Structure 1
Amino acid sequence: MKLLDARGLSCPEPVMMIRKAIASGEKAYQMVVDNPTARENVTRYAVQQGYQVSVEEKDGEFTLSITK
């Protein structure tokens, strides 16, 4: 599972990160974001690409588990 840290980045940068990661062909990722907009946009993009997304929130940060 590849870990992507997108804390401090505003959209569309987190979406571009997950897009590049998905293009590498791996089946599972964890991405950490620190704002609700990035969480929503990354989740939407991953689902459109056929991935399942679960989200955990802790101390204002969101950990997205993205799996095929």
Structure 2
Amino acid sequence: MKKVDARGLSCPEPVIRAKNAMESGDKEYEILVDNVVAKENVSRFATHQGYQVQATEQGDDILLKLTK
């Protein structure tokens, strides 16, 4: 499972990092973001790529688990 730390990055960088990770062809990813806009944008992108998204708040951060 690939893990991507996209905290502190403004859009579209979290989406780009997620996209680059997805090019590996894995079935599961964890993307860590720190704002709602990044959460929504990465979630939307992942859904369009055929992934299911589960968001879990971890303090000020949001962990997105993407599974295919």
TM-score range relative to shorter protein: over 0.9
Aligned to 1:29: 29
Question: Given residue 25 of structure 2, which amino acid in structure 1 is its aligned partner?
Answer: G
Identical pairs, percent:
53
The gaps in structure 1 that reach 5 residues or longer are none
Output the CA distance in 2 between the equivalents of 1:23 and 1:58.
Answer: 26
TM-score w.r.t. length of structure 1: 0.96
- Is 1:15 the counterpart of 2:19 in the alignment? no
What CA deviation, in whole Å up to 9, does each residue of 1:27-60 have, x standing for no partner? Answer: 1000110000000000000000000000001212
Indicate the RMSD between aligned Cα atoms, in angstroms: 0.6
- For these two proteins, the number of residue pairs brought into alignment is 68
Question: Given residue 60 of structure 1, which amino acid in structure 2 is its aligned partner?
Answer: D
Output the CA distance in 1 between the equivalents of 2:57 and 2:40.
Answer: 13
Q: Which 4+ stretches in 1 moved above 2 angstroms? A: none
TM-score w.r.t. length of structure 2: 0.96
